[in-house]
Amino acid sequence: MIKESAWITPCTGIDDGAAEFVKHISVKGDIKKAALVVTAIGVYDAYINGRRVGDFILAPGCTAYNKRLQYQAYDITGMLDNENELVITVGKGWHRSRMSENRPEINTKPCALIAQITLEYKHGKTETVCTDKAWKCRRSRIVFNDIWDGETYDASLKTGELFDVKEAELDKSVLIEQEGEKVCEREVFLPQKLIITPKGEKVLDFGQEITGYVEFSVNAKAGETVELSCGEVLDADGNFYNDNYRSAKSKMKYICADGKQTWKPRMTFYGFRYIRIDAYPGDVDADNFRAIAVYSDIERSGYIKTSNEKVNKLFENTLWSQRDNFLDIPTDCPQRDERMGWTGDAQVFAKTACYNFNTKRFFEKWLADLRAEQRTDGSIPDTVPNFWKIMRSSAAWGDAMTVIPWQVYLMYGDKKTLEDNFDAMKAWVDFMGADSLDKYLWTCPDDSDKMWRKHYGDWLALDAPNDGWRGKTPDNFIASAFYAYSTDILVRAGKALGRDMSEYEKLHGNIVKTFKNTFNELTTQTEHTLALCFGLTDDREKTAAKLAKMIRENGNKLKTGFVGTPYLMYALSENGYADVAYDLLLQEEYPSWLYEVNHGATTVWEHWDGIKEDGTFWSTEMNSFNHYAYGSVCGWIYSHAGGIRPDENAPGFERVIIAPVITGKIDGIEVKYRSVKGDIVSKWQNTPNGVRYEITAPVPITLIIDGKVRELGAGSYTFGG
């Protein structure tokens, strides 16, 4: 048990560098099995006799550290000689980097390690080596590291001198086994070109925005440096640009030793497509560089192919934004001074995420952090783990607590997901009711004059007054709509678990009734969308017609933000306006999904006009080019355009509903989903003889075509003409 070991910390300060904890291990016989169990306050990697243990990057991962700190177990049988040097390097990680400075109770903890080595001998004895005062420590050549600011490695530094360590009184009750997917190196990209910009900068273009780092080789003299800066896009003149990283320095700096050498960072990550070479000894040869994508070991499960190449590119970009932002926690973005588990972004993207990749384990681990961070009043912080400076609980953000367990349950069919989260879901719903000024709504005093108010509203919507960040839809409308939605989900979840939900059913009825009485005049696109999607309008036909009209009159363009956009396509296509939904999907002018594609996006942008028509940028304050929220449209392509949907009564694809939404606006769509029950394919194609369907599924199918249930199984069919 790792808990028998002591937390140890260096006796000498290591400032912003990483520390190397060193232990000599003698093996006294033939080894049957050997294991290393380890975690740290920070991030670590372990080497035995110069060989890396495992391939986990940035272990122990990111959790609500004050309650949950994962440890990892590695099989090291076969790595040991008779005499061994174990070196575990501990950097600052999420725990001690600038990003968690607003949580001093986490951020001011010391650099520390806890580990246990178990040696099972063939002769039957077992020996354990625990971290204790006998371990030693030395400075690492990683002289600076920080999640936002990057890493500096001094290969010329003499680091041999060993110092003592001391035992530290740090909590062991927080230690838990590894729960999430491991984080590891995935795809590798070679530079597509070396650009000399108009300003004369040397910039490598890797062709794809990724999260990870760069590995390079260099032939140099000791003391010479390689320095790299990261950027997502080039500016209108083709120069390097990264003002939108805000305070995150995101630098890679390497101080050379003599000779040929290769290096990559180990204690941090970067979001980038372009790398500016600020220093490099000798001529830059692009062949000496490669970019390595690093993210959670999630397995691909969804495929979309349409007859429109630009929509296909949008899908590719969404996959990449997910990879780039699924580095142990679902983040908003991987590059600027945030990279946090923003709950709202995850809430709107969860459905798409579950189609694209098998994210059961990933989300279940993060949901445990949501529960850990939930306050006693049931509120959920806006970022989980909670590293953010403002401790609030916004509507549509905190609803991650209900929306995500429900989505994960629908996709993977495991009741345990609901069981584990049910109390927390209920507490969130109760919180909204208790926090409200008015019964059966979630209302709060008007603090719209405040910069940091309770809710984020329809974040980044285009109907925001004065070009601001918050759309026009009132906070109380959004909060009350989500109160209804989350209560409805809670009722469904409770029923799936066989509980008596009559009290919450009654509550839901009252919320809906009060909502309709209170918000009887709908104005914005988002108001119409939420009213339709959450069952908050008596006159669906009129509401849908009005929404469609608003979009038509706006030139087939949306005005919605983070809250409205993810639900907009459903509001339209489920209420008779699939043609309007497709016009939005296929729109190429600003604002639209394909506008970004036309402007060279390789990931999904945070802001509809991240790059404006004239090539200039939206404000540096909030302009990430790698935010998956709007990629949530792919969820609609899977479940509606292509038509593969889980059946709530037979979750986990015990049964599948196939109900494609056909249009004459494109030739055809094929979606494939590798469900836990096997591959499901739905393909439709417009032909001169009608629409041809090809359906494959290893489970019973409810096939709905043109709104009619067809008594048909898997196969090929043609209807219409």
Backbone torsions φ then ψ of 334, nearest 5 degrees: -105, 5
Distance of alpha carbon 124 from alpha carbon 220, whole angstroms: 51
Give exposure, 142-162, as e/b (b: 16+ Cβ within 10 Å): bbbbbbbbbbbbbbbeeeeee
Rounded to a whole number of angstroms, the minimum distance from the CB of residue 371 to ligand BGC is 20
Does the protein bind ligand BGC through residue 385 (CB under 6 A)?
no
Q: How many residues bind ligand BGC (CB under 6 A)?
A: 9
Rounded to a whole number of angstroms, the minimum distance from the CB of residue 519 to ligand BGC is 22
Pair 462, 470: CB distance under 8 Å: no
DSSP 251-300: EEEEE--SEEEEE--SS--EEEEEEEEEE-SS---GGGEEEEEEEE-PEE
Distance of alpha carbon 33 from alpha carbon 118, whole angstroms: 8
Q: Which residues in the 240-259 window bind ligand BGC by CB under 6 A?
A: none
The residue assigned the tokens 């669906």 is: 540
Q: Segment near ligand BGC (CB under 6 A), from 14-22, 79-87, 284-292, 336-344?
A: 336-344
- Binder to ligand BGC among 148, 206, 289, 459 (CB under 6 A)? 459
- Binder to ligand BGC among 34, 234, 333, 580 (CB under 6 A)? 333
Does the protein bind ligand BGC through residue 344 (CB under 6 A)?
yes
Q: Could you tell me the CA-to-CA distances from 277 to 230, 267, 320 in Å, in that order?
A: 9, 20, 24
Does the protein bind ligand BGC through residue 345 (CB under 6 A)?
yes
Rounded to a whole number of angstroms, the minimum distance from the CB of residue 229 to ligand BGC is 21
- Binder to ligand BGC among 342, 440, 515, 625 (CB under 6 A)? 342
Told to judge if 596 belongs to the known catalytic residues of this protein, a careful annotator would answer: no
Backbone torsions φ then ψ of 303, nearest 5 degrees: -140, 135
Closer residue to ligand BGC in complex, CB, 332/373: 332
Cis peptide before 591 (omega within 30 of 0): yes
Rounded to a whole number of angstroms, the minimum distance from the CB of residue 694 to ligand BGC is 38
Q: Which residues in the 611-650 window bind ligand BGC by CB under 6 A?
A: 627
The residue assigned the tokens 């549509």 is: 396
Q: How big is the chain by its Cα radius of gyration, in Å? A: 27
Q: Segment near ligand BGC (CB under 6 A), from 184-192, 264-272, 339-347, 697-705?
A: 339-347
Query: Which positions from 3 to 42 touch ligand BGC by CB under 6 A, shown as an x/- string?
Result: ----------------------------------------
Distance of alpha carbon 692 from alpha carbon 346, whole angstroms: 36
Closer residue to ligand BGC in complex, CB, 456/504: 456
Distance of alpha carbon 508 from alpha carbon 512, whole angstroms: 6
Rounded to a whole number of angstroms, the minimum distance from the CB of residue 469 to ligand BGC is 7
The half-sphere exposure of 392 on its side-chain side, counting CA atoms within 13 A, is 12
Does the protein bind ligand BGC through residue 181 (CB under 6 A)?
no
Rounded to a whole number of angstroms, the minimum distance from the CB of residue 540 to ligand BGC is 30
User: Which residue, 351, 242, 366, is CA-closest to 296?
Assistant: 366
User: Which residue, 317, 337, 492, 311, is CA-closest to 409?
Assistant: 492
Rounded to a whole number of angstroms, the minimum distance from the CB of residue 505 to ligand BGC is 31
Does the protein bind ligand BGC through residue 400 (CB under 6 A)?
no
Backbone torsions φ then ψ of 646, nearest 5 degrees: -70, 155
Q: Segment near ligand BGC (CB under 6 A), from 190-198, 245-253, 338-346, 580-588?
A: 338-346
Rounded to a whole number of angstroms, the minimum distance from the CB of residue 464 to ligand BGC is 12
Q: How many CB atoms lie within 10 A of CB 262?
A: 10
**Identified catalytic residue from 201, 224, 527, 606:** 606
Distance of alpha carbon 708 from alpha carbon 721, whole angstroms: 17
Closer residue to ligand BGC in complex, CB, 113/340: 340
Distance of alpha carbon 244 from alpha carbon 618, whole angstroms: 9
Query: Which positions from 277 to 316 touch ligand BGC by CB under 6 A, shown as an x/- string?
Result: ----------------------------------------
Closer residue to ligand BGC in complex, CB, 526/573: 526
Three-class HEC string of 684-713: EEEECCEEEEEEECCCCEEEEECCEEECCC
Does the protein bind ligand BGC through residue 456 (CB under 6 A)?
yes
Does the protein bind ligand BGC through residue 326 (CB under 6 A)?
no
Q: Segment near ligand BGC (CB under 6 A), from 232-240, 332-340, 369-377, 658-666?
A: 332-340
User: Which residue, 536, 506, 499, is CA-closest to 521?
Assistant: 536
Rounded to a whole number of angstroms, the minimum distance from the CB of residue 382 to ligand BGC is 6
Told to judge if 338 belongs to the known catalytic residues of this protein, a careful annotator would answer: yes
Does the protein bind ligand BGC through residue 458 (CB under 6 A)?
no
Does the protein bind ligand BGC through residue 370 (CB under 6 A)?
no
- Binder to ligand BGC among 338, 369, 373, 527 (CB under 6 A)? 338
Pair 684, 305: CB distance under 8 Å: no
Rounded to a whole number of angstroms, the minimum distance from the CB of residue 388 to ligand BGC is 9
**Identified catalytic residue from 181, 224, 338, 527:** 338
Residues at the site binding ligand BGC, with contacts judged by CB under 6 A: 332-333, 338, 342, 344-345, 456, 459, 627
Query: What are the residue numbers of the active site?
Result: 338, 606
